[in-house]
Amino acid sequence: MRPSSDMQAVRRPIVPVVLSISLYVVLAVVAYWPVVPWDASRLPAVAGAGVGDPAQMAWFLAWTPFALLHGLNPFFTNYIDFPVGVNLAANTSVPLLGVLAAPVTLTLGPVAAFNLLVRIALAGSATSMFLVSRRWVSWWPAAFAAGLLYGFGSYMTFESSTHLDLAFMVIPPLLLWCVDELLVTQRRSASKMGILLGLLSAAQLLIDAEVLIYCGIMALIGLVFLALVHRRLVAARIRVAFPGLLRALGCFVVIAAYPVGYFLTGPRRIPRGIQLAWITAGYHVDLLRPVSLSVPQVIVGGPVIVNGRLVQVFRVAWSDTSGYLGILLLVVLLALAVRWRRLGIVQLGAVCACSAFVLSLGPRLTVDGRTTAIWLPEALFEHLPVLVDLEPVRLTGLEMLFLAIILAVGLDRTRAWIREHAQPRSALASGSVIDTRATLAWSRAQLLASLETVCLLGLVAAAFAPLLEQLPVARESPATAPGISASLARSVPNGGVVLVLPYPRAADDEPMLWQAVDEMKFRIVGGYALVPGTTGLGRYFVPEDPQLSELSSFVNPPVGAPAVPVARACHDLRAVLRAGEVDAMVLRTRAGPLRARGAAQLAKLLGPPTASLAAGDAWYDLGHRRATPGCPADS
């Protein structure tokens, strides 16, 4: 039931391996240059300096070692969304990466840990693909090209600028290797491979569950294809692999039972789905994305009522380049797949790559930014629990994995074909006696074969040029203001609560970085996390309660909204401070008219600020502050 007549493992020189890994590391460093891998002050500026997903991920990296060292549950926290807390098992909290990066986090800080891990994600994913590809190829440049496509393709260059959990794709190639050993080649012990498969699957769950689920879907598609092609061998293969599969399941359950159980039954769980189906379905690939970077991604918003009419909201995002290949690389891959279509591993790679691409298109076909009425297989996921929460665009990472296999095997076999046909017949016919003419013919043939191989490599290099043009993957900006972080660390009691205005939420979560940098010495009201909404569906931000919302409107009144009376704002402030046990308040607005107006409004309630810093004004020791004349005690 082997998918190809693969070469058996042989001893190979170590120099190509070291050289390939070194090149991957250099490329990963260049991808973020001039920021060094251990930089503790800068993060990718996606939504702005020090905010958004990178800031949230740095917080997650800080939380795991902090929780473990202080005897807290790593899957739950009330250090954000105080006092109710957040179920981190329902969030992309990357506990495994938090543990692995703990030495860096505890010495250089979580920002340095994030910067180091995103570079490891690129180089490590490419290395993993390179090593696994050598299972099927003997020519190391072919395996190097596979690692380059997988580790530095469009999926990785986009995700590594925003989502560390989705960019850390080291494990999927290893899962493929385990499944191939367990169910196809069966050269190694089924029990040992099963244990390894279970451990790797659990590790992927603790990095990103969405990637693991998509790996399971692609494994199912691949195994069904192999079972159909090799029907007579299925029973025998399963009989041999069954003990290993049982051990894989056992290992996975032992490790995954608690986080999965906490996700399903823990406090602040999200019972009806992580997010709305139209949100997840909106993150899909356009049919023209493989050959065009300028194709818009249309995300269909929810229905809203405008002027008494029900309308549909559309949002267009131009940034997600996942799935892009370029015309030349696509042509090379198609040519290799067609030329070597009789090889089982190429057939398997083509079926899985095409399946991943079709599923990544989402529930309905989109062409050049326009969504058609044509329904696609991914629409079935919208009616299945768990699968409804998956974002189709993420499948492009696994699509690149199978395309990398086609590229590696195709290049290896093409080079072998060139060398085989370079042998002149005269040299073969002469046996052991090779005259001068045959020797010259042999030399000319070998030279021609070398030139053809160089041309092949040149063609592949030209095909990769559009992908490498996307480097650097992100521009990095200062992560957080050290002045406010140091001031809070000095002035807020350990474990105290800080209320920050404007209220921190998904695209404006800088206060979470203050916490992470200050080693979680205080808690904050609000934050950026998935929490249960009023209907049981998840939402991406911690909502404000009505009194806090009214207080925010008092500090910075929305345009056209009626002013909140001072007495009403005093009542709201006391209620918010009492409910949240708040020790400090920070108005985090940069210097200017907006900050001056907000500070003046808060001064009516709290008096002058304790500290005025570049990042904002701070009021400390709120529990002992007396009421100001503008905010009487009986209001």
Token pair, residue 60, equals: 């997650």
**Residue 560 vs residue 56, higher pLDDT:** 56
What's the mean pLDDT when you consider all of the chain? 84
Which region among 121-135, 390-404, 468-482, 606-620 has the lowest average model confidence (pLDDT)? Answer: 468-482
In the block, residue with structure tokens 């072919």 = 142
Q: How far is CA 297 from CA 321, 325, 371, 547, in A?
A: 9, 16, 10, 38
Helix (H, G, I), strand (E, B) or coil at 515: helix
- What amino acid is encoded at 109 in this protein? G
Token pair, residue 319, equals: 């940034």
Token pair, residue 164, equals: 């560390």
d(CA 19, CA 30): 16
- Write down the pLDDT at residue 306: 36
- Write down the pLDDT at residue 564: 84
- Comparing CA positions, the residue from 55, 29, 60 lying closest to residue 44 is 55
Write out the H or E segment, with its range, that includes residue 460.
helix 436-468
> What's 8's DSSP letter?
P
β-bridge mates for residue 304, sequence order: 311
Helix (H, G, I), strand (E, B) or coil at 175: helix
Q: How far is CA 199 from CA 178, 196, 608, in A?
A: 11, 5, 56
Q: How confident is the model at residue 130 (pLDDT cuts 50, 70, 90)?
A: very high
- Write down the pLDDT at residue 398: 96
CB atoms within 10 A of CB 11: 5
**pLDDT above 60 for 95:** yes
- Write down the pLDDT at residue 231: 87
- Write down the pLDDT at residue 319: 58
Q: What is the mean pLDDT of residues 103-120?
A: 95
CB atoms within 10 A of CB 83: 11
Which residues touch 79 (CB under 8 Å, ≥6 apart)?
A: 63, 515, 520, 523, 524
Write out the H or E segment, with its range, that includes residue 312.
strand 309-317
- Write down the pLDDT at residue 316: 44
Q: How confident is the model at residue 276 (pLDDT cuts 50, 70, 90)?
A: low
Write out the H or E segment, with its range, that includes residue 612.
strand 611-613
d(CA 362, CA 379): 7
Do residues 95 and 123 touch, judged by C-beta distance below 8 A?
Answer: no
d(CA 227, CA 241): 14
Interhelix angle for 510-517 vs 482-491, to 10°?
60
- What amino acid is encoded at 308 in this protein? G
Q: How far is CA 464 from CA 149, 384, 396, in A?
A: 8, 38, 17
Do residues 151 and 129 touch, judged by C-beta distance below 8 A?
Answer: yes
The DSSP annotation for 357-411 comes to HHHHT-SEEEETTEEEEEE-GGGGGGGSTTGGG--GGGGHHHHHHHHHHHHHHHH
Token pair, residue 31, equals: 């991808």
- What amino acid is encoded at 365 in this protein? L
β-bridge mates for residue 297, sequence order: 317
d(CA 563, CA 558): 9
- Write down the pLDDT at residue 99: 97
pLDDT tens-digit readout, 422-444 = 665 544 444 554 566 656 655 66
**Every domain of the chain and the residues it spans:** 482-624
- What amino acid is encoded at 496 in this protein? G
β-bridge mates for residue 298, sequence order: 316
- Comparing CA positions, the residue from 213, 199, 239 lying closest to residue 1 is 239
Which region among 469-473, 572-576, 629-633 has the lowest average model confidence (pLDDT)? Answer: 629-633
- Comparing CA positions, the residue from 126, 21, 145, 225 lying closest to residue 410 is 145
β-bridge mates for residue 539, sequence order: 531
pLDDT tens-digit readout, 22-47 = 999 999 998 888 888 998 888 886 54
- Comparing CA positions, the residue from 479, 474, 477 lying closest to residue 28 is 474
Q: What is the mean pLDDT of residues 453-464?
A: 77
d(CA 108, CA 62): 11
Q: How confident is the model at residue 359 (pLDDT cuts 50, 70, 90)?
A: very high
- Write down the pLDDT at residue 41: 85
- Write down the pLDDT at residue 549: 87
pLDDT tens-digit readout, 211-253 = 999 999 999 999 999 999 988 888 888 999 999 999 999 999 9
- Write down the pLDDT at residue 33: 85
β-bridge mates for residue 42, sequence order: 478
> What's 52's DSSP letter?
S
Q: Which of 434-438, 512-516, 541-545 has the highest mean pLDDT?
A: 512-516
- Write down the pLDDT at residue 464: 79
